[in-house]
């Protein structure tokens, strides 16, 4: 049985690491945006978006299966890992060849193609690192993955900043990430060996591989559709709605600022899902009541965090985007504000999807993501040629709302949880967030946006306490997870 303390500590370790990693990455990205300029930033962003789509063809959903099956029976760790590595090794060669062929077929400039070749290598390294971390996740250990995330980001940022100062261009910036991903690959493997003493072996047991792939197919389809759903707008912008490739690259550069800010916040639901997925899987088999309470808590916590973030950024965007990234990126304000409207619902799709996958409803999860991805594709096809990056943002907003609606509808059939409690929490968080954002709007351009961010946090926290949305138990649990307070059992 997964202890609640272990679950909370895993979420805290991983969330803390991702917070630091995202802060470092965001600061670095602002320097990158200013140093490279809109057009080169567009090439840089496109290369990563393009190869990110293909990571699913290497993983084919096996990481989720690996973590879930190990969480159920840890004695199978060595056998499952060896066969997962066997499958991924073969798929890596085919996937990389497909990336090279497609980027050449689509007629991108030589520089863009070279960047894609490098980001393809990064994608392969990261996919195998995720496999090693998946083994540790299945054993309810996210501590060392959290350390690896931070070390990786420090390495990339350190090298990248030196290269920016040297003014060497966009290719060396991608090479810095290659070095960081290579380090993370080695580190993740060594930590897995050190902590679990799992011997390195690559196998191909036809029977086991067939079983794993059969289970993973819905996860793989979900992953492919999810990647397309999040990256298709960038792909469209790189080729559609512009007179020249340079204009297309600039559109991608502007849109990448909006999406970078949005994606930088994804660490919060990702951290929750990383800690929750093994627990959801175990609770589904052993304790349905605890599964329901854990699901409610995860949804509520994500509401508490996402609502003020979305409203705060929506209000402050017109001030901080030009100041942080430069006036040449001012056009990113509107698509960013549109994406912020969808942020809350996007956050809540993470525990919903994790619940469906953990309760063997992965096919249902795949169907709903397919519907959302299709809607997003069609909207991009229609809106991007007319509205460029604004059309991409609107497409993302509508498809996210559809995905949330479909997911919560299926969740209601899977689990008996307290819907009135969650609706009440959402309403009170929204009221607190709107009051906070009103104060920020009244003070916008009168006070530095950094001070306004701090003020917004204080106002929202006080309002949560006033409305009794944030309870003493919540605060105690956070302190316990941070080890800033001893539990009853630790005293004496």
Name the average pLDDT for the chain. Answer: 87
Go through the chain and tell me how many residues it has: 492
SS3 state at 314? helix
Q: What local confidence, expressed as pLDDT, does residue 182 receive?
A: 96
Q: Residue 448 phi/psi, 5° resolution?
A: -55, 140
The pLDDT tens digits for 397-424 are 999 999 999 999 999 888 888 899 999 9
Query: Closest Cα to residue 291, out of 138, 422, 429, 411?
Result: 411
Phi-psi region of 360 (alpha: psi -120 to 50; beta: other; left: phi over 0): left
Could you give the CA distance from residue 466 to residue 362 in angstroms, rounded to a whole number?
40
CA distances from 96 to 52, 119, 123, 227, 373 (A): 12, 10, 9, 17, 24
Distance CA(22)–CA(486), nearest Å, equals: 29
**Taking the model in full, what pTM does it have?**
0.78
Residues in Cβ contact with 441 at an 8 Å cutoff, skipping those fewer than 6 apart: 315
Mean pLDDT (10-residue bins), the chain, 492 residues: 53 74 88 92 93 88 82 79 90 95 92 96 94 81 83 94 90 95 94 82 86 81 79 89 88 93 82 73 81 88 93 96 93 96 93 85 83 93 93 95 94 89 94 96 94 95 88 64 41 36
Q: Which of 129, 182, 180 is nearest to 159 (CA)?
A: 180
Is residue 345 within 8 A of residue 401, CB to CB? The reply is yes
Q: What is the DSSP string of 16-57?
A: HHHHHHHHHHHHHHHHHHHHHHHHHHHHHHHHHHHHHHHHHH
Look at residue 193 in the predicted model and tell me its pLDDT: 87
Residue 20: its pLDDT value, please? 85
pLDDT of residue 477: 63
- What are the tens digits of pLDDT across the range 323-351? 999 999 999 999 999 999 999 999 999 99
Q: For the chain, what are the domain ranges?
A: 4-417
């Amino acid at each position: 049985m997964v202890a609640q303390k272990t679950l909370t500590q895993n979420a805290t370790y991983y969330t803390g690491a991702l917070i630091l990693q995202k802060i470092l990455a965001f600061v670095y990205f602002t320097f990158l945006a200013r140093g490279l300029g809109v057009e080169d930033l567009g090439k840089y962003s496109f290369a990563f978006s393009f190869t990110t789509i293909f990571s699913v063809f290497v993983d084919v959903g096996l990481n989720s299966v690996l973590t879930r099956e190990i969480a159920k029976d840890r004695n199978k760790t060595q056998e499952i890992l060896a066969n997962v590595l066997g499958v991924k090794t073969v798929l890596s060669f085919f996937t990389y060849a497909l990336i090279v062929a497609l980027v050449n077929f689509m007629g991108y400039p030589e520089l863009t193609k070279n960047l894609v070749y490098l980001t393809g290598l990064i994608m392969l390294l990261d996919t195998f690192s995720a496999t090693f971390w998946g083994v540790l996740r299945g054993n309810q250990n996210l501590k060392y993955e959290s350390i690896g995330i931070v070390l990786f980001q420090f390495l990339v940022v350190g090298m990248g900043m030196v290269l920016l100062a040297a003014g060497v261009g966009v290719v060396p910036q991608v090479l810095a990430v290659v070095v960081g991903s290579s380090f993370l690959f080695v580190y993740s493997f060594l930590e897995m060996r050190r902590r679990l003493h799992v011997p390195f072996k690559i196998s191909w047991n036809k029977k086991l591989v067939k079983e794993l792939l059969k289970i993973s197919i819905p996860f793989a389809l979900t992953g492919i559709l999810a990647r397309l759903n999040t990256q298709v707008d960038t792909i469209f912008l790189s080729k559609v709605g512009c007179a020249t490739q340079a204009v297309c690259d600039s559109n991608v550069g502007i849109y990448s600022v909006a999406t970078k800010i949005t994606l930088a916040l994804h660490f919060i639901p990702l951290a929750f899902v990383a800690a929750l997925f093994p627990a959801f899987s175990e609770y589904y088999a052993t304790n349905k009541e605890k599964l329901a309470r854990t699901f409610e808590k995860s949804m509520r916590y994500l509401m508490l965090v996402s609502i003020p973030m979305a409203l705060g950024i929506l209000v402050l965007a017109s001030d901080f985007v030009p100041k942080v990234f430069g006036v040449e990126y001012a056009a990113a304000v509107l698509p960013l504000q549109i994406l912020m409207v969808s942020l809350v619902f996007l956050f809540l799709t993470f525990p919903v999807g994790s619940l469906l996958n953990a309760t063997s409803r992965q096919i249902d999860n795949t169907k709903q993501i397919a519907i959302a991805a299709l809607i997003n594709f069609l909207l991009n096809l229609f809106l991007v040629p007319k509205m460029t990056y604004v059309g991409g943002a609107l497409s993302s907003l509508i498809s996210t709302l559809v995905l949330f609606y479909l997911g919560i509808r299926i969740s209601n059939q899977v689990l008996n949880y307290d819907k009135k409690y969650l609706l009440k929490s959402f309403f009170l968080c929204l009221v607190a967030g709107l009051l906070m954002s009103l104060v920020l709007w009244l003070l916008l351009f009168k006070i530095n946006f950094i001070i306004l961010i701090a003020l917004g946090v204080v106002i929202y926290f006080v309002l949560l306490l006033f409305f009794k949305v944030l309870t003493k138990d919540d605060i105690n649990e956070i302190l316990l997870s941070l080890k800033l307070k001893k539990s009853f059992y630790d005293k004496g």
